[in-house]
Amino acid sequence: MSTTLKPAAPPAPVRGEKVTPARIPRPSRRTAAHRSLRRHWQLYLLVLVPLAYFVIFKYIPIANAVIAFKNYSPVKGPWGSEWVGFRNFELFFANPVFWTLVKNTFILAAYTVLASFPIPIILAIALNEIRNGRFKKTVQLVTYAPYFISTVVVVSMTILVLSPRLGFVNDAIGLFGVPAVDFLGNPDYFRHIYVWSDVWQTTGYSAVIYLAALAGIDPALHESAKIDGATRLKRIWHVDLPGIMPTAVIILVLGVGNIMSIGFERAFLLQNPLNLAQSEIIATYVYKTGLLNADFSMATAIGLFNSVINLFLLLGVNFAAKRITGNGLWS
């Protein structure tokens, strides 16, 4: 007769003794990462290309920013050139055009942010209230299409439209006896032309983000507001605007964080010797200093100064947004 031995039962806990449950060993980080890689390898493969783009074209070139502190020589390279410390920054700060560049860049960028921030929100809310599907799609197409037009083409169209001899704007005001105006030759008009041509080109694309945020608002909130007797304007004010506020705050923070990195292409193409007093910004000055005058160290120093100012603006605006609205880029 064979007998099987059963494992002894664990001793009963002593009365009053605290019983702790047995802990299940957690897998190591390497094991968890390996499991996640095998399970979601398709997603990691999709991320690989943009990750490689940022590493190759964004992070690796950061090391070459050291030439801002050197007297760069293409023959000696970034690491063999003579170290000069902050001399390039001192020369830039002592340059008579320094404050003009900072003022022009800041005013133009702030004007762009203030003009381009509320208009996409208004357009998105207006499109969200349209019930005629065909009309809504037509408006979306008309406002979204300019985003895909090259900036060079947009600037060329702007120059032709505002031309003193061929532009239909001058033809239109000429019907009222107003003499032709050289819009691009007058520095006072440059900022308005720059900003509103940019708003015309990007408003439709920016509105798509807010339309997506509006689509995520719970319809029950609108139904409750209707039951309470709220008008359409009150529902927009008390339901739609609070619903898209986190998205709007993040976009505003990003816009202010890039306030000193205003686009070079449009400003340079609209620039001419007559409007240089307001059209010369840091981006165009870096291009002329670095590529046209081949002063790479000075151009890098100016660009690095610009990036540091952007960083402090981003941190400051994000902190203020967190304190005021509770939303920001990070905690």
Which homologous superfamily does the CATH classification assign to the domain defined by 85-324? Answer: MetI-like (1.10.3720.10)
Cβ neighbours for 276, distance < 8 A, ≥ 6 positions apart: 187
Determine what percent of the chain is predicted with pLDDT higher than 70. 91
pLDDT per residue as tens digits for the range 90-114: 999 999 999 999 999 989 988 998 8
DSSP 206-255: HHHHHHHHHHTS-HHHHHHHHHTT--HHHHIIIIIHHHHHHHHHHHHHHH
Which two tokens mark 198?
């940019």
| Region 129-142 average pLDDT | 87
Which two tokens mark 3?
């007998």
> 65, 302 in Cβ contact below 8 A?
no
> 316, 238 in Cβ contact below 8 A?
no
Q: Residue with structure tokens 């060993």?
A: 25
> Looking at the predicted structure, is the pLDDT value of residue 53 above 90?
yes
> Looking at the predicted structure, is the pLDDT value of residue 218 above 90?
no
CB atoms within 10 A of CB 145: 12
pTM: 0.80
DSSP assignment letter at 132: -
pLDDT per residue as tens digits for the range 241-284: 888 988 888 888 888 777 777 778 899 999 999 999 999 999 89
Domains of the chain, by residue range, sit at: 85-324
Which two tokens mark 66?
């050291």
> 194, 283 in Cβ contact below 8 A?
no
